[in-house]
């Protein structure tokens, strides 16, 4: 009797356990078999969820698995999948407008370089002999032209004497002194250059002057070498 008393509950416990198998639903799964009985869900278990596919092999021929859905396989994924003269665009091989291997002329003024249509290299126009006239330099607090300045202006004059261009002489100063004084000094320097150019045969009406005082330095160090570079008269051809 004692053995029957112990075995009876154990049999009932095992019977109850065998009748409580998990019923899979809501697309949840552990294996593909868990998805077979669930309506409205894919039949492939992917990370605990029933999906249409987990790899290309789960799809029929001509389809590929993208984001767990079987979609038509694209004609190409990269341009390497396409024949010569075509490129991959949105999964299809289309004509490559930049390919010129097949002898097709490049459009839009482009040229064929190593099988690709590229923009033609622009060639900078050659500089004319008077595109960059020389600047002249002055001593401290002076508007008197030095011998070196006169020689530079003579070279400028020879260059432009046969042309009908107009000039602008810009007078500049170093940082020392007030702004008002340097505007006046810069103007005297510009006028000094204009007067000398006029004496070399350049019509006065073709030469304008302006003073920038100390507002346009080419060097900002507080040294004599730097100040010398700023005490100058720039001769420029007017473009308008």
Report pLDDT digits (tens) over 104-150. 677 777 888 877 788 876 655 555 556 678 899 999 999 999 999 99
Domain extents in the chain:
25-73, 79-118, 136-237
Q: How far apart are CA 171 and CA 81, in angstroms?
A: 66
Torsion angle of alpha carbons 191, 187, 176, 226, nearest 10°? Answer: -50
> Is the separation of the CB atoms in 84 and 101 below 8 Å?
yes
**pLDDT of 52:** 93
Q: How far apart are CA 143 and CA 186, in angstroms?
A: 8
Reported as a single tens digit per residue, the pLDDT across 22-53 is 789 899 999 999 998 889 999 999 999 999 99
Tokens of 10: 């154990």
Prediction pTM value? 0.48
Given pLDDT bands bounded at 50, 70 and 90, which one contains residue 14?
Answer: low
> Is the separation of the CB atoms in 127 and 237 below 8 Å?
no
Which pairing describes strands 207-213 and 167-172: parallel, antiparallel, or unpaired? parallel
42 CB-near residues (< 8 Å, 6+ apart)? 35, 50, 51, 52, 53, 68
Q: What angle do CA 176, 181, 187 make, to 5 degrees?
A: 110
**pLDDT of 4:** 46
Q: Which of the two residues, 234 and 15, has the higher pLDDT score?
A: 234
CATH superfamily of 136-237: OmpA-like domain (3.30.1330.60)
């Amino acid at each position: 009797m004692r053995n029957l008393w112990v075995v009876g509950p154990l049999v009932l416990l095992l019977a109850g356990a065998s009748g409580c198998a998990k019923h899979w639903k809501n697309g949840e799964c552990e294996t593909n078999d868990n998805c077979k009985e669930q309506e409205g869900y894919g039949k492939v278990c992917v990370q605990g969820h029933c999906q249409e596919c987990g790899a290309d092999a789960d799809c029929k021929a001509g389809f590929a698995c993208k984001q767990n859905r079987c979609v038509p396989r694209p004609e190409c994924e990269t341009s390497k999948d396409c024949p010569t003269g075509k490129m991959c665009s949105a999964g299809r091989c289309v004509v490559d407008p930049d390919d010129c291997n097949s002898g097709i002329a490049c459009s839009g003024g482009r040229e064929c370089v190593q099988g690709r249509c590229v923009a033609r290299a622009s060639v900078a126009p050659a500089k004319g002999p008077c595109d960059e006239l020389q600047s002249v330099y002055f001593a401290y607090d002076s508007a008197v032209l030095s011998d070196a300045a006169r020689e530079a202006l003579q070279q400028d004059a020879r260059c432009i004497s046969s042309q009908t261009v107009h000039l602008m002489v810009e007078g500049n100063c170093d940082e020392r002194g007030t702004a008002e004084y340097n505007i006046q000094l810069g103007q005297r320097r510009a006028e000094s250059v204009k007067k000398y150019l006029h004496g070399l045969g350049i019509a006065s009406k073709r030469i304008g002057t302006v003073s920038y005082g100390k507002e346009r330095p080419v060097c900002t160090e507080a040294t004599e070498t730097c100040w010398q570079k700023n005490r100058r008269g720039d001769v420029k051809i007017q473009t308008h």
